[in-house]
Chain A
Amino acid sequence: MTTTTTLSHAKDGEAPVFYLTEEHDHDGHSTVIGFWIFLMSDVLLFCGLFAIYAWLGGHYANGPSPLDDGHGGQLFHLPVVAVNTVIMLASSFICALAMVETRKGNVGPALKWFGLTALFGVAFLYNQVTEYGHMAEIGATYQTSAFLSCFITLIIAHSFHVLTGIVWVAILAVQVLQHGLNPANERRAVCFSMFWNFIDITWVCVFIFVYLMGVLR
């Protein structure tokens, strides 16, 4: 949008202004809002998954349940999950540091913090894979019950977002090395940080609604 001066209404007798005589390049003026709208629809995607979990999550079909994996243990290991939650939250904090440097235009420090963000993401995924690998070993799989179908889909959907974030930030790093922190790359960094925070918040929801409430239920 332009300044209000161009809009000032016609004074008496003068014809009103019906067009702007100046041109404005407006590259990327919609990127952030567009990405934000996309994230909203992604939020709804998770809302749907949570809703299905809320509905079918208690249907164990005589299979494992959060507190009983059928082998004398618990299916949900809260300590592991708690560690992962801390990793996720920390990575968001690091991502914020990366954004501070990005805003200042410091390529080196920005990339360092972004790299660390990705590293935390990898650590998170590593924990996820071992945790669910373990579940698969004791026969708690996708096909076992509606509960596990919902639960594992939710987890995979989230992990998939984490993976996307890691790949994204790696690509972004290459592009920043190529072109520096030009406006386009800065916008991409902003979108990435929004995305990463969204993943983080989603995980907190998973932690509360699935794990904590699952154990309490």
Chain B
Amino acid sequence: MSPDTPPLDPIFGRLTLDAIPYQEPILVVTFAVVALAGIFAVGALTYFRLWGYLWREWITSVDHKRIGIMYIVLAIIMLVRGFADAIMMRLQQAIAFNGSEGYLPAHHYDQIFTAHGVIMIFFVATPLIVGVMNFVIPLQIGARDVSFPYLNNLGFWLTAVAAILVNVSLFVGEFSQGGWVGEPPLTGAEASPGVGVDYYLWALQISGLGTIIGGINLLATIIKMRAPGLTFMKLPIFCWTSLCVNALIVLSFPFLTIAVTLLTLDRLFGTHFFTADFGGNPMAYVNLVWIWGHPEVYILILPALGVYSEVAAVFSGKRLFGYTSMVYATVSITVIGFVVWLHHFFTMGSGASVNGFFGLMTALIAIPTGVKVYNWLFTMYRGRVRFEVPMMWTISFMLTFLLGGLTGVLCSIPAADFQLHNSLFLVGHFHNVAIGAIVFAMMAAIDYWFPKAFGFRLEPFWGKLSVWFWTVGFFVAFLPIYVAGLSGVTRRTRVFDDPSEQNLQILFVIAAIGAFIALLGVVFFLVQLFVSIRNREALRDTTGDPWNARTLEWSTSSPPPEYNFAFTPVVHDVDAWADMKARGYSRPSEGFKPIHMPRNTATGIVASVLLLIFSFAVIWYMWLVAGVSFALLLLVLIGHTFNYNRSFHIPADVVARTESERTRLLAQQG
């Protein structure tokens, strides 16, 4: 806000009609499609009278299973958006050689790579892992719910409104052009006076808040709500990785909050944290953001490694090899993950010893990670490996991850990194792990736990096609990118000037083809969902244990009843359910008691929507709206504390009826 700007409109602030990009055909078409889809969805919901159901059973639900599913649905929708961005970039880069400008102006291209990064990290990968953790953890530890069901719902809605905020920026104003970590001074008030960076900052702020809340909740859940007998050294590996991840969330996200808040202050109030003048220092931001950012990549990868551990054991028909070493490896990765952040800017010039330390620490992480890979291999060794879809994802992961891990260690050598920093080699490396480890794991997780969540399996044929297309697509899309990076091509580049004899363009054309192959992987996954829903009767799972699995979630019905377990399980061994099956567990059929459960609440969504309005208002300097929505937000949050009636009992006869229905189904099985 420089002094010579005209006075702001009291209601609309700096929001004017010019903010709507109706001259840009791509955006107009996108808007039309989104609007049509929206109208269609609203129409369908109204026609089938589903609003009440949606509100009662999903939107206000505090059931961890429902919330987990909502996270995953959000992530899949955002994956489509993020992928569309990826395809646009790939096309642009394949064209923009030899004097061609491509089809995207710089202003637009820069927003796309920023939006792609932000969406993929914050609104695809994060909600996927949080969703899977939410669904799985309470079931695996034999609990009926999480520690803070209301906060769980609130955390989801905060994430969802942050995603909405990013998408609003597509049609009202613009998005940041500063890359996914938004480093100043490029994102400062002088270089980026527009609303793009503000959208970015508020989206991160709100989703960060949601993630911290979720992290506190799941951490408390794992610590306090484990079934009797389930000591830490009997905890399923997925829960162990989740425990570490949620600790990482609680320990690292505050730094994101600070980085984002201080940059917001710089932009709104003219403070001098990260400005180049008046004593500010942009590198302070870079440090803060990566103190969060590196743990964040482990936050994403550890649950993925947990999923592979579960899948490898179940589909090899064996106990996981080296359980204890797996736990120690997980904990070491967690701890070391906190002292490597500087590898993101070796080129800052901290000197040889500092760079050496951080480089060494980074390379060290390869050791516990290697331990894990060997453990999976030994789990498969001499097992009866069943090539179901989750297992295929796992095997594809092991191959892909090997390459990603090796290039990561390459980047960890400071001397090499001076060349690789900000090159496409780095882009190749992090997509190698983001896709090969995180996305593949989440696809495996969806395939693996889908029958638990919905009571029927996913059609394997399309799932296998998805595995193949994603895998091949990844290699075709990113091997050329590694090569381009080694040849010195920098990242975030819109047009190429290539006077060399190498003809680098061909690399980008191949990469674009690869992106389309991977796109088919996404499409086949969606087809798989569609086909499976249509054939759900044939794919029905009445046993509750379709994979002959090993952990507690498979001891209850599919989908589990609202209360998960009619009686709290007692655990004696790692792989509690395998133990129960081996030692003649018989399902109780009487003596049911009323079960104590949390009540639904609308506070989560109301508060989140108010926060959305507030942030939108602040972005556009609509101070009146901001003030009113903030006051309302406080009222709603405080009002919620006056509600003491937060739980109810499911009557014993309802439990008995639900359980006898299951008994009937199991009997039919024979």
Q: Does A100 contact B (CB under 8 A)?
A: no
Query: Interface segment, A69-77, A86-94, A144-152, A205-213?
Result: A144-152
**What residues of chain B lie closer than 8 Å to A2, measured between beta carbons?**
228
Q: Does A68 contact B (CB under 8 A)?
A: no
Q: Does A126 contact B (CB under 8 A)?
A: no
Which chain B residues (47-97) contact chain A, with CB distance < 8 Å?
none
**What residues of chain B lie closer than 8 Å to A179, measured between beta carbons?**
644
B254's contact among A18, A26, A41, by CB below 8 Å, is which?
Answer: A41
Cα(A16)–Cα(B229), bound, Å: 12
Q: Is there contact, CB below 8 Å, between B641 and A171?
A: yes
Q: Does A17 contact B (CB under 8 A)?
A: yes
Q: Is there contact, CB below 8 Å, between B223 and A33?
A: yes
B547-581: CB near A (< 8 Å → 1, else 0) gives 00000000000000000010111101000000010
**What residues of chain B lie closer than 8 Å to A149, measured between beta carbons?**
265, 271-273, 280
Among B226, B269, B271, B565, find the residue whose CB has the most chain A CB atoms closer than 10 A.
B271
Q: Which residue of B lies closest to A45 (CB)?
A: B254
Q: Does A106 contact B (CB under 8 A)?
A: no
Q: Is there contact, CB below 8 Å, between A44 and B254?
A: yes
Q: Which residue of A lies closest to B555 (CB)?
A: A18
Q: Does A137 contact B (CB under 8 A)?
A: no
Nearest Cβ distance between residue A37 and chain B, in whole angstroms?
5
**What residues of chain B lie closer than 8 Å to A150, measured between beta carbons?**
273
Given contacts A41-B250, A44-B251, A147-B279, contact A34 B220 (CB under 8 A): yes
Q: Is there contact, CB below 8 Å, between B147 and A56?
A: no
Nearest Cβ distance between residue A58 and chain B, in whole angstroms?
8
Given contacts A16-B583, A30-B221, A34-B217, contact A56 B271 (CB under 8 A): no
Q: Which residue of A lies closest to B230 (CB)?
A: A1
**What residues of chain A lie closer than 8 Å to B229, measured between beta carbons?**
7
Q: Does B307 contact A (CB under 8 A)?
A: no
A56's contact among B148, B220, B279, by CB below 8 Å, is which?
Answer: B279
Given contacts A30-B147, A61-B278, contact A15 B224 (CB under 8 A): no
Among B212, B279, B596, find the residue whose CB has the most chain A CB atoms closer than 10 A.
B279
A6's contact among B217, B228, B254, B595, by CB below 8 Å, is which?
Answer: B228
Cα(A18)–Cα(B587), bound, Å: 9
A22's contact among B262, B271, B593, by CB below 8 Å, is which?
Answer: B593
B615-641: CB near A (< 8 Å → 1, else 0) gives 000000000000000000000001001
Q: Is there contact, CB below 8 Å, between A30 and B224?
A: yes
**What residues of chain B lie closer than 8 Å to A81, measured between beta carbons?**
none
Q: Does A20 contact B (CB under 8 A)?
A: yes
**What residues of chain B lie closer than 8 Å to A9, measured between beta carbons?**
572
Cα(A49)–Cα(B638), bound, Å: 28
Q: Does A59 contact B (CB under 8 A)?
A: yes
**What residues of chain B lie closer than 8 Å to A60, measured between beta carbons?**
279
Which chain B residues (620-666) contact chain A, with CB distance < 8 Å?
638, 641-642, 644, 647
Q: Is there contact, CB below 8 Å, between A41 and B269?
A: no
Nearest Cβ distance between residue A203 and chain B, in whole angstroms?
19
Q: Does B539 contact A (CB under 8 A)?
A: no
Nearest Cβ distance between residue A26 and chain B, in whole angstroms?
7
Q: Does B351 contact A (CB under 8 A)?
A: no
**What residues of chain A lie closer than 8 Å to B593, measured between beta carbons?**
21-23
**What residues of chain B lie closer than 8 Å to A143, measured between beta carbons?**
269-272, 278
Which chain B residues (478-505) contact chain A, with CB distance < 8 Å?
none
A26-63: CB near B (< 8 Å → 1, else 0) gives 11011001100110111011011100100110011101
Q: Which residue of B lies closest to A17 (CB)?
A: B570
A116-145: CB near B (< 8 Å → 1, else 0) gives 000000000000000000000000001111
**What residues of chain B lie closer than 8 Å to A175, measured between beta carbons?**
641-642
**What residues of chain B lie closer than 8 Å to A18, measured between beta carbons?**
569-570, 580, 585
**What residues of chain A lie closer than 8 Å to B594, measured between beta carbons?**
23
Q: Is there contact, CB below 8 Å, between A56 and B280?
A: yes
Given contacts A44-B254, A55-B284, contact A61 B279 (CB under 8 A): yes
A146's contact among B217, B278, B565, by CB below 8 Å, is which?
Answer: B278
Cα(A20)–Cα(B228), bound, Å: 9
Given contacts A61-B278, A142-B270, A153-B265, contact A30 B148 (CB under 8 A): yes
Q: Is there contact, CB below 8 Å, between B273 and A41?
A: no
Q: Which residue of B lies closest to A22 (CB)?
A: B593
Nearest Cβ distance between residue A189 and chain B, in whole angstroms?
13
Q: Does A107 contact B (CB under 8 A)?
A: no
Q: Is there contact, CB below 8 Å, between A6 and B258?
A: no
A15's contact among B148, B288, B583, by CB below 8 Å, is which?
Answer: B583
Q: Is there contact, CB below 8 Å, between B272 and A30?
A: no
Nearest Cβ distance between residue A17 and chain B, in whole angstroms?
5
Nearest Cβ distance between residue A47 and chain B, in whole angstroms?
8
Q: Which residue of B lies closest to A146 (CB)?
A: B279
Among A27, A48, A153, find the residue whose CB has the most chain B CB atoms closer than 10 A.
A48
Nearest Cβ distance between residue A19 and chain B, in whole angstroms?
4
**What residues of chain B lie closer than 8 Å to A17, measured between beta carbons?**
570
Cα(A45)–Cα(B212), bound, Å: 12
Nearest Cβ distance between residue B281 and chain A, in whole angstroms?
6
Cα(A38)–Cα(B278), bound, Å: 34
Q: Does B591 contact A (CB under 8 A)?
A: yes
Q: Is there contact, CB below 8 Å, between B220 and A37?
A: yes
A-B contact pairs, 26 of them (CB 8 A): A1-B226, A9-B572, A15-B583, A16-B570, A18-B570, A23-B594, A30-B147, A30-B221, A30-B224, A34-B220, A40-B251, A41-B212, A41-B216, A41-B253, A48-B255, A48-B288, A52-B258, A52-B284, A55-B281, A55-B284, A61-B278, A63-B278, A145-B279, A153-B265, A171-B638, A175-B641
Beyond the given A21-B567, A41-B251, could you list 12 further A-B residue pairs with CB under 8 A, ordered by the A residue number?
A: A1-B226, A15-B584, A20-B570, A30-B148, A30-B225, A45-B258, A60-B279, A147-B279, A149-B272, A149-B273, A171-B641, A175-B642
Which residues of B come within 8 Å of A, CB atoms? Answer: 147-148, 212, 216-217, 219-221, 223-226, 228-229, 250-251, 253-255, 257-258, 262, 265, 269-273, 277-281, 284, 288, 291, 565, 567-570, 572, 580, 583-586, 588, 591, 593-596, 638, 641-642, 644, 647
Interface pairs A-B: 10 shortest CB-CB: A59-B279, A146-B279, A30-B147, A149-B271, A19-B567, A48-B258, A44-B254, A34-B220, A61-B279, A23-B593
